[in-house]
Structure 1
Amino acid sequence: MPGAHTGAGARCRLRVPGFTARFRCPVLSPGSRYQHPLPALNSPVPVAAASSARCPLSRRPAPLPAPAAPAAGPLPVQLPEPVALPRPVPVARGGSAPGAGCRGRFRCGCRSPLAGAGSRCPFAGAVPVPVPGARSPGRSRCRSPLAGARCPGRCRMGGVCSRAFRRLRPRRVMSAAAAAAAGSGAGGGRGPVLTSRTMNPAVRRVEYAVRGPIVTRATQLERELQQGASKPFTEVIKANIGDAHAMGQKPITFLRQVTALCVYPELMNDKSIPSDAKDRAKRLLAACGGQSAGAYSASPGIELVRQHVARFLQQRDGVAADPQNIFLATGASDAIVVILKLLASGSGASRTGVLVPIPQYPLYSATIAELSAVQLGYYLAEEQCWALEVAELRRVLAKGRQHCCPRVLCIINPGNPTGQVQSRQCIEDVIKFAYEENLFLMADEVYQDNIYAKGSAFYSFKKVLSEMGPPYSKTVELASFHSISKGFMGECGFRGGYMEVINMDPEVKEQLVKLVSVRLCPPVSGQILLGALVDPPQPGEPSYETFMAEKKAVLSTLAHKAQLTQEIFNKTPGIHCNPVQGAMYSFPRIDLPPRAIAAAKEKGQAPDTFFCMRLLEETGICVVPGSGFGQREGTFHFRMTILPPTEKLKVLLEKLSSFYTEFVKEFS
């Protein structure tokens, strides 16, 4: 219906929330409950002011209807008192009325369809008002989201838009116009600069289930229990996150001794601290600015620690490592975000596509959303213990290339939340696939110490890539990540980690150095603890026996709890739990009755979210619904950490299984 989207009752083809087919344009239909997609135009045109008006995106006049009778309930926008519309004003180059300075630092030379709407450009800080007789503008410097949408005389909402306008994402229209309306100049009302309408729209798309509404409710329940409230449980068990020390795991003595000595050097005089810990602390302090842990480090990290990481990697893989390819970070998460920032680019069909496993750790989906990249989820095979299949990668890649530019393949090994450990053959197949399809590999290997299942072993992507030889070892680009937060250390709060980049373009590497420099440096205390981890006690040193005993105790206990989790869950009809081969979590599938699914729908919740919220309210057990990680349609899961002490974990598993059985009976 070209050229007729503004009339009362006419349909509009612009696919924007609040301004779609079947709804009247609120600019010309004051009784409408729906808002114009350009928030700056939300104030309806007073019907007493003129007999007709033009939509700023159309040259065809549209009659103004009579005022609609007030609808039941309050309207989202109150009608203003009738006032006379301003007469058309000559528009200066730059998209704003004479004398109005453009506030948006716009520099393009395209035409803006709003620049000649008879008033100031909405992106120059003034609210636009449709005016009879408005014409398509001349050349403009405005870089509004609508810049380049030349009006050919027919409504461009009706399908004759220019290429630039067709590429336009409606959310950008709304956010940019909202920002302009909120920042309007003289005559505008004073209001907050940052509102839910003017904030970065990409932030709205960010979700992080690990600390989502269920965890928020768990914190509230803890507070209520402290205040003496009566609940059907005495404590809240937060099994939602892999925070080892919060679950009662003891720190590794040697790591804490080295860190304490660096933070408080006076402890060097304490004779109870072994000499090997003191020697390492002295070397680390000598590498710090002013020999103090309170000084900034170099942005890529303390050079000595980077050298120790390189030596650690060489001992692990049998492959040489260059300290200049190693960047210390605020945990592995920060390093992952930095690499994704380098890779995210383009718009429309050229936007970067990122292949991530489903289920996946929500850090990836959240970062991809924030960077306005495209998430391409490939399903892990649950029936094969969450194995990764190259055929599934090919399916997702082919589908993704229809609407974006896939450039990145993310692997989590061992898996989070699924706990699988990839075989060497699988890793080789993935590397060959990345080589054939020209993809950048990101290997999240933070759980490399957490291997429990018999026959399972950790193989780093770097080791396999190197042993495959040319052309793979010389061309496949790889970034791998490790952290002090997981493994047997569990030092989440110190926020220490690193990444190693392989085969990265030297010019891009320079940009990476610049990007990490913006944040000055990672926490020096975390770097120090990482330095102690990758330079552990050696045989014959005073701390060696204690260090190895503590490490073995932690890992063997985790292996026992992984087996216990699988056994208890699989005894319960309706709960299906794959072996926990590695990492710190189980991700069981649960069968939910149709009535439970319907009840969840009534509450506006995902079925597994409904289950997990009921579980929390009735037992105090906090787990994360599988919908927060992604799952196949029609299946339901939850993620639960295996970190609680063994006796508490056993009670937790039995209570959860009993609750599930009663839940199914209630909704059957």
Structure 2
Amino acid sequence: MVANGAGDPVKGPQSSCSPLGVDNINPKVTNAQYAVRGEIVIRAKELEDKLHNGEKLPFDKILYCNIGNPQQLGQHPVTFYRQVLALCDYPELLENEQAKAIFPPDVIARAKKYLAAIPGGTGAYSDSRGAMVLRKDIAKGIEERDGYPCDPDNLFLTDGASQGVHAMMRMLLRDENDAILTPIPQYPLYSATLTMYGGMLLPYYLHEETGWSLDINELRSQTYKARSEGKNVRALVVINPGNPTGQILSYENQVDVVKFCKEEGIVLLADEVYQANIYRPDKTFTSFKKVLCDLKETEVTVASMMSISKGFYGECGRRGGYTELVNVNSDVQAEFYKLASINLCSNLNGQICMALVMNPPKEGEPSFELYSQERTELLASLKRRAVKLHKTLSSLQGVTCTEPEGALYAMPHIRLPQGAIEAAKKIGKAADFFYCMQLLEETGIVTVPGSGFKQEEGTYHFRTTFLVPEKETDEVAERLTKFHNSFLAKYGEPEQ
């Protein structure tokens, strides 16, 4: 109630809806989609609850193949990381004689080094960019990787690589006319952030028939078309190794990308979180920072994102990452710093883990042998699982699958029967969503439909990880094969 001029109470405007409802919150939030944890995962949680309550289903457990979350599926953490983190979280152990017998000397030395330079330890705020001692260790790792200097002041430590993507979108997107070149298929973080910050997703299609390759001519045609329609093409997203596609760019292709960005005056957003996940012996990872330095290129701006969530370490829940800004002037860097300061700082455990990932034990140090053994075994196991999954998918009728070269995923192309396409239409869903939901209901396997990543019109895909424990991969292959055959028996032969 409010008072009118005569002092009488007057009813204020009434709303028939809740003061906070889906019809009155920011529509950019409701319009944003994130299929990796969408409707299928919600249903998977419901089925999981049923299993826990003793209900009988066609399977005995849910297998989450929808997201790159290795430790959820039983992957063992890297010992060196956990030991250093344990000491940083509970420094009293450093004075315990029994603990000194458990923790190797280099673990103790690393924890002491970090704690001495981080006032208050892991429970206190750090510099908004991240603790300098940790940024220096990350810079050292980048220098060793690329063979070129890295200035710690160009590094911003983040709660996972996603936070760096959000920050760059905030910086780049001014209105709906600003466009970001984004690979299709894409990781839906990009489509979601573009929707939330009011920009335009400008697609460039990766070519599946040539191993999800990137075509510079497509970048040019999409850029020129967008500009003719009054759009401002601000940046190019490149995910290397690819997500969800698993391809690795050649050095020559990367050079072409850098030259394109220079010619067109656009920023390069380099999503490089899978750089440790390389499975083909004839393939290697090269950072875009190195390509820039090799070319002595000072006019192309690059924001490179890295994370502790992927690789062979899979420390997803710790939310650690960094963004390195290359060829960014000091005024813009100050604005990026301001954005980081609004969030105060990223979490200290994630910062520490990022430093450990980029600066692990070296040969000759006490922890090196175990660290090297764990790294070798984890990567070898991932490769074996990738090979087995690819073989299974490629054997299915109507399915073709590009061999995963890197990352943690396979993205098979499925040719669906017309009967399934019609059944999906009746419930208002994409046909690949229909396939993935049926797969979940009958097998407990959680995947992501290709429509959640966007895909070429008229094609159907799904993305699956190969993170299921190695001892269970045969069971997954059997469940998937049995389901696919029964699906075709029910809905007909796949379309050619």
Would the TM-score normalized by the shorter structure come out above 0.5? yes
Matched, 1:531 2:355: yes
Q: Which residue of 2 aligns with 1:518?
A: 342
Deviates most, 611-620 or 281-290: 281-290
Shift of 1:392: 1.1
Contact 2:44–2:440 (Cα < 8 Å) also in 1: yes
- 2:235 corresponds, among 393, 408, 411, to 408
Residue of structure 2 aligned with 1:293, choices 109, 114, 122: 122
For residues 404 and 186 of structure 1, the distance between their equivalents in structure 2, rounded to whole angstroms, comes to 46
2:102 alignment partner, SS class: coil
What secondary structure is seen at the aligned counterpart in 1 of 2:403? coil
Question: Which position in structure 2 is the counterpart of 1:311?
Answer: 140
SS across alignment from 2:277: coil
Partners of 1:195 and 1:567 lie apart in 2 by 47
After TM superposition, list the pairs within 5 Å mapping 1:436-451 onto structure 2: 436-451=263-278
Distance 2:420 2:25 in 1: 37
Show the 5 A alignment for 1:555-566: 555-566=379-390
Contact 1:280-1:532 at 8 Å conserved across structures: no
Q: How much has 1:196 moved relative to structure 2?
A: 2.1
**Distance in 1, Cα, partners of 2:468 & 2:12:** 61
Instruction: Give the letter aligned to residue 147 of structure 2.
Output: G
**Residue 456 in 1 paired to residue 280 in 2?**
no
* Counterpart pick for 1:432 among 259, 280, 284: 259
Aligned partner of residue 313 in structure 2, secondary structure: coil
Aligned equivalents of 1:660 and 1:288: distance in 2?
54
Query: What is the match of residue 196 of structure 1?
Result: 22
Q: Paired residue for 1:223?
A: 49
Does residue 1:255 correspond to 2:81, yes or no? yes
1:420 is matched with which residue: 240, 247, 265? Answer: 247
Partner amino acid, structure 2, of 1:581: E
CA distance in 1, matches of 2:437, 2:170: 35
Match of 1:548 in 2: 372
Q: Is residue 2:381 matched to residue 1:381? A: no
Cα-to-partner distance string for 1:496-538 (whole Å, 9 max, x where unaligned) = 0101001112211111000110000101111112222222112
Q: What is the CA-CA distance between 1:227 and the residue it aligns to?
A: 0.7
- Residue identity matched to 2:291: V
Q: Does 1:281 find its partner at 2:111? A: yes
- In structure 1, what is the Cα distance between the partners aligned to 2:333 and 2:474? 48
Runs of 4+ aligned residues of structure 1 deviating over 4 Å after TM superposition are none
Are the counterparts in 2 of residues 477 and 502 from structure 1 also a CA contact under 8 Å? yes
Match of 1:234 in 2: 60
2:202 partner SS: strand
State the shift of 1:228 in Å: 1.2
User: Alpha-carbon deviation of 1:645?
Assistant: 1.1
After superposition, give the CA deviation of every residue in 1:181-230 in whole Å (9 maximum; x if it has no partner). Answer: xxxx8443366422222211111111000000000000000000111111
Q: Distance in 1 between matches of 2:206 and 2:57?
A: 39
Contact 1:434 1:441 in 2 (8 A): yes
Residues 539-577 of structure 1, C-alpha deviation per residue, up to 9 Å, x if partnerless? 221111001000111111111111111112112221111
Q: Residue 434 of structure 1: SS of its match in structure 2?
A: helix
Determine the C-alpha separation between the residues in 2 that align with 1:195 and 1:538.
54
Q: Is the 8 A contact 1:218 1:236 kept in 2?
A: yes
Structure 2 SS opposite 1:475: coil
Aligned Cα RMSD in Å? 1.3
Distance 1:420 1:542 in 2: 36
Match of 1:577 in 2: 401
Aligned twin of 1:503? 327
Q: Name the structure 2 match of 1:394.
A: 220
Give the SS at the match of 1:360: coil
CA distance in 2, matches of 1:360, 1:192: 35
**SS in structure 1 opposite 2:123?**
coil
1:481 equivalenced with 2:305 (yes/no):
yes
Aligned residues: 479
1:244 aligns with 2:73: no
Q: Give the TM-score normalised by the residue count of structure 2.
A: 0.95
**Unmatched runs of 5 consecutive residues or more in structure 1:** 1-97, 100-184
Q: Which has the higher contact order (CA 8 A, sep 6+)?
A: 2
Alignment partner, residue 340 of structure 1: 169
- Please identify which structure carries the higher helix content: 2
Partner of 1:164: none
Q: Rg bigger for which structure?
A: 1
Shift of 1:399: 2.2
1:219, 1:195 → 2: CA distance? Answer: 24
**Counterparts of 2:379 and 2:219, CA distance in 1:** 33
> Does the CA contact (< 8 Å) of 2:147 and 2:290 recur in 1?
yes
Output the CA distance in 1 between the equivalents of 2:280 and 2:43: 35
Pairwise CA distance, 1:403:
4.0
- Quote the residue 1:272 is aligned against: 102
Cα distance, 1:358 vs. partner? 0.3
Partner of 1:491: 315
Distance 1:314 1:611 in 2: 46
1:327 matches 2:151 = no
One-letter amino acid matched to 2:114? L
Please say if 1:593 is aligned against 2:417.
yes
- In structure 2, stretches of 5+ residues that fail to align are none
1:421 partner SS:
coil
Distance 1:346 1:252 in 2: 44
8 Å Cα contact 1:314-1:320 kept in structure 2: yes
Take 2:357 and 2:175, find their aligned partners in 1: how far apart are those partners?
Answer: 40
Residue type of the alignment partner of 1:563: V
- Partner-residue secondary structure (3-state), 1:479: strand
1:616 to 431, 440, 446: 440
Q: State the one-letter code of the partner of 1:333.
A: S
